[in-house]
Each structure stands twice: as structure tokens, then as C-alpha cells.
Amino acid sequence: MTTRTDPHSPKNFEPTHYTFIGWIYTGSNVEAADALNDPEAVDFMDAHPHVGVYGASQCDHCGSRFAYGAVFSYRGEGWITVGHDCASGRFNCPDRFTFELATMRRKVAALREYGKKSAAVRKLMAAHPDLAVAAEWSTEAWEIRNDLRAQDTEEGEREARVLGHLVGFNIDTIRDIVAKLFRYGSISEKQTAFVIRLAREGQEKLTQAKAIAERIAAMEPLTAGRQALEGTLKSVKSYDGFNGPVWKMVVALDSGHAVFGTVPGSLWEDANRIAFGEGTVPMDGLKGIRVRFDANVDPSVGDNDFAKYSRPTKCEVLDVTPMRAAQARAEASEIERRLAQVAELAANDADDAAWTEVAAKLATRRAEVAARVAIVTQRS
């Protein structure tokens, strides 16, 4: 065994000859080394010679190999590297190193975990190439929308609004699921298929955005003032009002414009009375019916296809076929649920004659409802 005679050996060690420069990581994780090494220590090592006995990952004091260590300047002549045990012991920097070492270990662990998840993501992307395409599409569409908004022009804002309306849900949903993929390292098969489908649908709609924005720009805005409005009810939603919930609706007019305002008080009762003879469908089930009413119109500035209305009166329900179709489809779905329930009960009952009779009655009812669905769907 060779006896050390260098000034850094435990026998010849003099603490006052050393100045702390910074902490380093010399483990196997290259990304961790790049992220965690103290820049000051790296710069000092690049600018000065190594005056120690061993390499950068071996303690120049005791000779042990290390992953977490420190760089010290020796009398300003050059540098040596010291493992964390010697740095916090004989080199007299325990308090600071305890904190720095814990921080570095946490970061290395996080980077290792990120590396595992990244590998899992790459494997999933390789197995589902369309998933990678979908993720890339959502990012590009998101950037397009932001770029349009950043133009600060009426045309850019209009196209961004149309794009957001057409594919905003697709973009945001895909980005949310992909973010969870990178965070947790996996998503379900159903989520994968959902993301791919949203991207394909979104791409088709994305190509329509510019054309729709140009069409809106060429439209003449609605005239302000009180007038008769006729169209199809596109959506109904409850909002918090001053005296409680307030129902509002969007009506698509035959001219291509859309108007937004409070649902007339008699609309729900009249629509249900015409469709079923009584109130059986909730307010948000009115979507698709055709209405006519008078109202004060306030066109939107810079948005030719949209206007708000107020004080609706003389409301007439012109067509409730979509309500009947929706009600029939809901009834058909309930019958299917009950048939499945009956089949399960019959399978667990030795005396299934009674269940057979119930199933037969439900099957008859299913045929009747299916015929009604076909009729009202054809009308709508």
C-alpha cells in the first residue's frame, strides 16, 4: 500500500488552506448533473487545474467514491473534490451541506421519477402514434388561437373567437389529459381513444374556422330596436341573478345571426303543453324547438352575427318535434336499462316465468317506443 504524502491526505490536511466553491453531483443521472451542479463550481473547475489526487467523482481527501460532493479551492492554485461525508466533517461545513445535500437528493429523485415517467410516455406514444399526433395538434391549435388574439385586430379576435367556439373544448381537454399523462406516466385506453377522436374532430372543425370568420365579417349586423325574432333554440342555461336563478337562451335565427337573452316566462309551459299535454321536460330540455317572439335587440359591437335581446313578449312555440324525439329516446334508454335488470334478476331466480312475462311486456313497449322514435326523428 502506497503511503500518501500529498497535502490533501488525512495526515497532512490543513483546513485553513481550503475555500469552499460549490456543490456537485457526480452520479449516473446525467440530467441531474446538468441541473444540479453549482454553476460557480463548474466554472471554477473549467478555469483552474485539478490539484488533487483522484478524479472528479472520488474524494481527494479520503479516496472514497461519491455521488454528492463539493469543490474546494486549494490556496487559489486549483481545485479538489471532496465527498459529502468529508465535506460535512473535516472540511467543517456541516450545516450548509446538510441542507444542500437534502435538496440535491430530492431533485435527483424527482429527475429519476420524471425519467421513468418520460420513458413510459414514449412507450405509450410509440404504441399509439395517433396519440402523439393528437398532442402535437392540440399544442399547434392552442398556439394558433393565442397568435390570433395577439394580433389585436378585429379580424384576429373574430377568428380566435370562432376557433375557440369550434374547437376550444377539444384543445383544452386534450392538453389537460396529456398533462396528466406526463404527470402520472399513464392514461387509460379510453382516455387515449378519446384524445385521438377529439383531435380528429378538431382538425376537421379547424379548417372551417377561417371560412366561418370571413362569413361573419361579411354579414350585416341586426338592426337595433324592438322587432320580431324567429328561430331555433340552440341552448338553455341557468345563471345566477339578483333575485335567484335566471334562465337564458340562445336562439339561432334563419338569417344566420344568434340572439341571447332571458327565456320568456310562458315558453316552458307552452312547449310542454303542446308536446305532451303537461310539463314533463325540464327547462334545459327545450333545445331544438322553434320559437317566435318580439324583443328589444342590442347588436354586439364587432361581432356581426350576435346580439342580445331584452323584454321578450308574444312568445309562440312553432315546433316541438325535437322535444318529443328527445323524450322518446330517453324512454327507450330507460326500457333498455330495465330489460337488462330483468335479465339479471331472471338469471338468479330458478322460477323465471314471472320475469319472462315482464321481459315480454318490456320488449313490446320497446318496439312501440322505437317506432315513435323513428317517426319523430324523421319529422325533425
pLDDT tens over the chain, length 380 residues? 577 888 888 888 887 788 888 888 888 777 667 777 888 888 888 888 888 888 778 899 888 898 888 888 888 888 899 888 888 777 766 555 565 666 667 677 777 787 888 888 888 888 888 988 888 888 888 888 888 777 766 667 777 777 788 888 888 998 999 888 888 888 888 999 999 998 988 888 877 777 777 777 777 888 889 999 999 888 888 888 777 788 888 999 988 888 998 888 788 777 777 666 665 667 767 788 888 999 999 987 767 788 899 999 888 888 877 777 777 777 777 777 777 776 676 666 656 666 666 667 777 777 766 666 565 555 54
Closest by Cα among 365, 267, 362, 242 to 320:
267
Query: What's residue 226's pLDDT?
Result: 93
Q: What kind and span of H or E run contains 136?
A: helix 129-150
Q: Scanning the structure block, which residue is given the C-alpha cell 325574432?
A: 229
Q: Which fold has domain 225-319?
A: OB fold (Dihydrolipoamide Acetyltransferase, E2P) (2.40.50)
Q: What number of residues does the chain have?
A: 380
Closest by Cα among 76, 8, 70 to 36:
70
Instruction: Read off the amino acid at residue 205.
Output: K
Angstrom distance (rounded) from CA 228 to CA 220: 17
Angle between helices 267-276 and 321-347 (to 10 degrees): 60
Angstrom distance (rounded) from CA 72 to CA 370: 84
Instruction: Read off the amino acid at residue 273.
Output: R
C-beta of residue 230 within 8 angstroms of C-beta of residue 257: no
Query: What's residue 373's pLDDT?
Result: 59
Angstrom distance (rounded) from CA 370 to CA 9: 92
* β-bridge partners, 241: 244
pTM above 0.75, yes or no: no
- Enumerate residues 6+ apart whose C-beta is below 8 A from 51: 74, 77, 78, 79, 80
Query: What's residue 150's pLDDT?
Result: 77
Query: How far apart are the two ends of the chain, measured CA to CA in Å?
Result: 96
**43-46, long-range: CB < 8 A, 24+ apart:** 44/71, 44/73, 44/79, 45/71, 45/79
Please, what sign has the CA dihedral across residues 149, 152, 157, 158? negative
Angstrom distance (rounded) from CA 108 to CA 110: 5
Q: How far is CA 349 from the centre of its chain?
A: 47
Angstrom distance (rounded) from CA 58 to CA 49: 16
283: how many CB neighbours lie within 10 A of its CB? 18
C-beta of residue 262 within 8 angstroms of C-beta of residue 310: yes
Count the alpha carbons within 13 Å of 67 in the hemisphere toward its beta carbon. 12
Domain boundaries, the chain: 15-110, 128-218, 225-319, 325-379
